[in-house]
Amino acid sequence: MKTSFPSPQSFFRQRRLRLSVVLIILIGIYVLSMTIVNFQTWTSIVKIPAGIIWLFHNFIPTERSISYLGPILYQLWRTLLVSISSTIIASLFSLVFAILGAQTTTPHPVLRIVIRFGASLLRNIPVVAWAMILLFSFKQSDFTGFLALFFMTLGYLTRAFTETIEDLDAEKLQALQAVGANYFQCVFCGVLPEAASTLTSWVLYMIENNLRDATLVGLLTGTGVGFLFDFYFKSFRYDAAGLIVLLIAILVIVLELTSTMIRRAIA
């Protein structure tokens, strides 16, 4: 025992060795990625300050940009609507799937596995792929964006809701069962009220997230504020594009603050 006791020197040597290996691997990954992507760290970093200055010169909205305010606000409003409605509709479906798929409330274990798998599938297809899958059938309409966000959200919320329901105190459910409540009574009087505020937090979070993604989807499918940005951007009306960026940032921040406030109020 005493002879095998490692000296502090060898302990630290080992530790340093492990740290070095991790560092070398990370640096290796970095260099490899740099070569594959064909990115020059230094020359690009040097350009950043100039880029920021250029940004401030060209992207600052001017008086002229105010004339674009009407269409921008309208498209921003449309984008917000699509993010909210896709989240809400998806959350209704997710709730049903989550109740059917959560360990504590599932009617059948096989159903649980099917739902888990399906949700994971939906979640792991990037929103870009959704947009491409849907674009041909649904054309350049709000509906394409709506459905793309809907499927993504469905995947995310089903998982989040399932976990929320599974985290609930099992004893409370047993107490309800003990007084003779049937399955539906358990779910509607026990599970849902208990989980309501957490579930709503997830919904609010998803709305925030979808607003950001909606811009991207719009860019790809030619709808909403994303399309408008692309349009001004490609016709070199940077001040108008800058106005859009500014307004999106404001909207996202306002949404974030509101949902934080609501979350606190309902907790």
Site for other proteins in 61-80 (CB under 8 A): 78
Contact 75, 227 (CB under 8 A): yes
187-226 residues in contact with other proteins (CB under 8 A) are 196-197, 200, 203, 212-213, 215-216, 219-220, 223
The yes or no reply on residue 161 touching other proteins (CB under 8 A) is no
The yes or no reply on residue 185 touching other proteins (CB under 8 A) is no
User: What is the per-residue binding string for other proteins in 82-101, x denoting contact by CB under 8 A?
Assistant: x-xx--xx------------
Which is nearer to other proteins, 7 or 67 (by Cβ)?
Answer: 7
We find the least distance from the C-beta atom of residue 243 to other proteins, in angstroms, to be: 12
- Supply the DSSP symbol for 61: -
Sign of CA dihedral 226, 231, 234, 236: negative
Orientation of helix 224-234 relative to helix 69-101, angle to 10°: 140
Q: How far apart are CA 119 and CA 97, in angstroms?
A: 9
Exactly one of 22, 24, 25, 26 binds other proteins (CB under 8 A); that residue is 26
We find the least distance from the C-beta atom of residue 1 to other proteins, in angstroms, to be: 9
256 burial (CB, 10 Å; 0-12 / 13-18 / 19+) is: middle
The yes or no reply on residue 143 touching other proteins (CB under 8 A) is yes
Phi-psi region of 50 (alpha: psi -120 to 50; beta: other; left: phi over 0): alpha
Q: Which stretch binds other proteins (CB under 8 A): 66-74, 101-109, 122-130, 171-179?
A: 122-130
We find the least distance from the C-beta atom of residue 216 to other proteins, in angstroms, to be: 5
Which is nearer to other proteins, 108 or 134 (by Cβ)?
Answer: 134
Q: How far apart are CA 227 and CA 220, in angstroms?
A: 8
CA distances to 93, 154, 173, 192, 266 from 198, in Å = 17, 17, 17, 10, 9
We find the least distance from the C-beta atom of residue 265 to other proteins, in angstroms, to be: 5
The yes or no reply on residue 3 touching other proteins (CB under 8 A) is no
The yes or no reply on residue 151 touching other proteins (CB under 8 A) is no
